[in-house]
């Protein structure tokens, strides 16, 4: 059996976490290459249906990260994301998704080290949970 390499998609905001991840790079801190970033203007822009679509298309884990509460570049987008996450989280059990597969966090533009730590911890946890296959069968059933 080939070694399991989790696919983790990170949905991040442009102003805090994307810049924080840039700082991780500028500081040459190392982290797991299993995470790739998709940039959004704000976590408030993230439609949580996209998370399901990512799972349906082969993601094993997801990170959603933006500015800390009160620090949103657009005042309140991260609060909308947080509210959406609270509602969405309650649905995960019904959807058959282990809540540990989604990491919701705040990483500021100054927290390069936190981003590296967050990625590594998430990658390790997803590795422990194993591949997420339940949703692949949903492809072609309307979820995508």
- Can you tell me which residue has the tokens 């924080």? 20
Q: What letters, b where the CB count within 10 A reaches 16 and e where it falls short, cover 56-88?
A: beebbbbbbbbbeeeebeeeebbebbbebbeeb
Judging by beta carbons within 10 Å of its beta carbon (0-12, 13-18, 19+), is residue 2 exposed, middle or buried?
exposed
- Window 56 to 115, contacts with another protein (CB under 8 A): 57-59, 70-77, 80, 84, 108-110
- Judged by CB under 8 A, the stretch of 29-37, 87-95, 96-104, 124-132 that binds another protein is 29-37
Backbone angles phi, psi at 127, to 5 degrees: -60, -45
Binding segment toward another protein, per CB under 8 A, in 43-51, 85-93, 99-107, 122-130:
43-51
Q: Is 47 in the site for another protein (CB under 8 A)?
A: yes
Q: Which helix (H) or strand (E) holds 94?
A: helix 77-95
Q: Which is nearer to another protein, 96 or 140 (CB)?
A: 140
Nearer to another protein, 68 or 100 (CB): 68
Residue ranges in contact with another protein by CB under 8 A: 5, 7, 9, 15-16, 18-19, 21-22, 24-26, 28-31, 33-34, 36-42, 44-48, 50, 53-54, 57-59, 70-77, 80, 84, 108-110, 116, 144
């Amino acid at each position: 059996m080939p070694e399991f390499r989790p696919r983790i998609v990170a949905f991040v905001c442009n102003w805090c976490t994307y810049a924080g991840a840039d700082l991780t790079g500028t500081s040459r801190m190392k982290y797991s290459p299993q995470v790739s970033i998709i940039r959004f203007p704000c976590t408030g822009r993230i439609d949580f249906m996209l998370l399901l679509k990512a799972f349906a298309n082969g993601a094993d884990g997801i990170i959603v990260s933006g500015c800390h509460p009160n620090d949103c570049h657009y005042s309140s987008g991260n609060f909308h994301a947080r509210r959406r996450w609270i509602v969405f989280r309650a649905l995960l059990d019904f959807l058959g998704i282990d809540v540990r597969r989604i990491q919701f966090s705040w990483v500021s533009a100054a927290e390069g080290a936190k981003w590296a730590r967050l990625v590594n911890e998430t990658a390790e946890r997803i590795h422990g949970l194993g591949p997420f296959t339940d949703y692949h069968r949903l492809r072609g059933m309307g979820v995508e």
